[in-house]
Amino acid sequence: MSFTGKGWLLGAVLLPNCMIKTANIAGAGLGGLTAAIALARRGVRVQIYEQSPVLDAVGAGIQLSPNAVKVLRALEIEPSLRPFAFEPENAVIRNGGTGAKYVSLPLKGAAEQKYGAPYLHIHRADLHRVLVEHAEDLGVSIALNQRMTGYNEAGFHGVATADISIAADGVKSPHATQMNENQPARFTGQVAWRGVIDAAQLPPNTIPPDATVWTGSGQHIVTYYLRAGSLVNFVAVEERTDWQDASWTTAGDVTELRRVFSGWHPRIETLLRAVSDVNIWALYDKPELTRWSDGPVVLLGDSCHPTLPFLAQGAAMAMEDAFVLSDCLAQASDPQAAFRSYEAARKPRTTLLQQKARANADLFHRGGPFGGQLSLAKLNVARMLPAGLAARPFDGIYAYDVTQIKT
């Protein structure tokens, strides 16, 4: 990795130290690892407990919007990611049947200029590996096969205590449920099929070099490239009420995927013909939680505000949380004051983005009020707008720089 001890010292951004000395984190996901790095860089000794027996990330892509890249830049992680990333030309919304464009917003080069950081696509395994390497280089310890089951006034059950305990343990967090008894995660009635295909298996130019949403009726598909264009990632979302599997992710049947999405644009049918493996994820949501902290325990990322993937902002919000929490712990006089400032700084934005993501399901699925006519009208209006106006809904999300906000 390009992260050498010397280069690190020379390039380091000086962040004020935290008033706490030790932190436990449940979950080595994208949020937990970013929090570990942000805290370790502020002088905190961090121990992560991860339930999984291996440090591994799901084999699919992730879109990192400029607001997320700004966090990774401030933590000096961005240069290690760039060799594995793909910078899309545009963000595009198309009709999934005809291929006609509703919206096309320039991203490559333009995002850095307009929002202060690039828009990147990256394989989750690459992002996860880079975060683990940075965390371990900073002395973070990661214990595997360690499922945290709840907490008391000293922190997580069954482990050595620390000054604070961060529950970055995802949408089904037992800690969030203990803290907010009547607000469990609930199935949304939507599932996402996800897979990655070797781009060389497809005829040239099958998939445009954009971040593309292909809209449908009760369904949509997202396509984009990874690893310098050598892989194509897809997420195919379908409304479905019959999810029976107790787990929330399971291997999918490729024949069924092709059947469910048959009759789509020929480019999509060509893409789906090339798929050999696919997973299905049940999509879960939570209402705005009443509590984000209790004693020494604080929630972060999907555990407190799962964000449906229709805005590509869930991981971005977890990373923003991580930066703000570490900042609040450096500014406040005690952890509880820091947790209060953290929640006050984060909740309005994460709640708003959760709502925007939910609303995008109607837009992309041409559903919602008046039998979906309102969604269709919005898409058709967007088609006629100049790019600057059509980009308005994204400006506040991408221009936001959490590393510059005073907490």
Ligand X SMILES: Cc1cc2nc3c(=O)[nH]c(=O)nc-3n(C[C@H](O)[C@H](O)[C@H](O)COP(=O)(O)OP(=O)(O)OC[C@H]3O[C@@H](n4cnc5c(N)ncnc54)[C@H](O)[C@@H]3O)c2cc1C
What is the enclosing helix (H) or strand (E) of 25?
Answer: strand 22-26
Is residue 281 near ligand X by the rule CB under 6 A? yes
Is residue 287 near ligand X by the rule CB under 6 A? no
As measured in angstroms, the least distance from the Cβ of 315 to ligand X is 3
- E runs forming strands in 79-230: 90-95, 101-106, 120-123, 141-143, 151-152, 155-156, 164-167, 186-198, 211-215, 219-226
Q: Per-residue x/- marks for ligand X, 16-55, CB under 6 A?
A: ----------xxxxxxx----------------xxxx---
Burial class (CB in 10 A: 0-12, 13-18, 19+), 150: middle
- Counts of helices then strands in the chain (DSSP H, E): 14, 18
In the region spanning residues 363 to 392, those forming contacts with ligand X, defined by CB under 6 A, are none
| Residue 322 CA from chain centroid, whole number | 13
| Residue 332 CA: distances (Å) to CA of 23, 41, 206, 328, 338 | 16, 17, 53, 6, 5
Cβ atoms of 233 and 283 within 8 Å: the answer is no
As measured in angstroms, the least distance from the Cβ of 132 to ligand X is 11
CB closer to ligand X, 2 vs 149: 149
Catalytic hit among 102, 151, 224, 400: 224
Sequence-distant (6+) residues with CB within 8 A of 295 are: 151, 153, 155
Is residue 183 near ligand X by the rule CB under 6 A? no
Distance, CA of 381 to CA of 103 (rounded, Å): 10
Percent of the chain as helix, strand, coil, to the nearest 5: 40, 25, 35
Is residue 312 near ligand X by the rule CB under 6 A? yes
Cβ atoms of 174 and 148 within 8 Å: the answer is yes
Say whether 342 is catalytic: no
**Which of 130, 148, 164, 361 is the binder for ligand X (CB under 6 A)?**
148
Q: Which stretch binds ligand X (CB under 6 A): 135-143, 162-170, 291-299, 386-394?
A: 162-170
Distance, CA of 230 to CA of 234 (rounded, Å): 14
Q: Per-residue x/- marks for ligand X, 199-238, CB under 6 A?
A: ------------------------------------x---
Q: If you search the block for the tokens 């599997």, which residue do you land on? A: 245
Is residue 195 near ligand X by the rule CB under 6 A? no
Is residue 147 near ligand X by the rule CB under 6 A? yes
Is residue 170 near ligand X by the rule CB under 6 A? yes
H helices of 120-161, where? 124-137
Q: Which stretch binds ligand X (CB under 6 A): 164-172, 182-190, 270-278, 323-331?
A: 164-172
CB closer to ligand X, 163 vs 238: 238
Secondary structure (3-state) at 178: helix
In the region spanning residues 314 to 343, those forming contacts with ligand X, defined by CB under 6 A, are 314-316, 318
As measured in angstroms, the least distance from the Cβ of 399 to ligand X is 16
Is residue 313 near ligand X by the rule CB under 6 A? yes
**Phi and psi angles of residue 180, each rounded to the nearest 5 degrees, phi first:** -130, 75
As measured in angstroms, the least distance from the Cβ of 158 to ligand X is 11
**Which of 301, 323, 342, 364 is the binder for ligand X (CB under 6 A)?**
301
- Site size for ligand X, by CB under 6 A? 33
Distance, CA of 298 to CA of 291 (rounded, Å): 9
CB closer to ligand X, 19 vs 211: 211
By DSSP bridging, strand 141-143 and strand 45-49 are parallel
**Which of 88, 118, 309, 335 is the binder for ligand X (CB under 6 A)?**
309
**Which of 63, 80, 90, 165 is the binder for ligand X (CB under 6 A)?**
63
In the region spanning residues 235 to 274, those forming contacts with ligand X, defined by CB under 6 A, are 235
Q: Which residues contact ligand X by CB under 6 A?
A: 26-32, 49-52, 62-63, 147-148, 168-170, 174, 192, 194, 235, 281, 301-302, 307, 309, 312-316, 318
Instruction: Give the residue numbers annotated as catalytic, written as ranges.
Output: 224
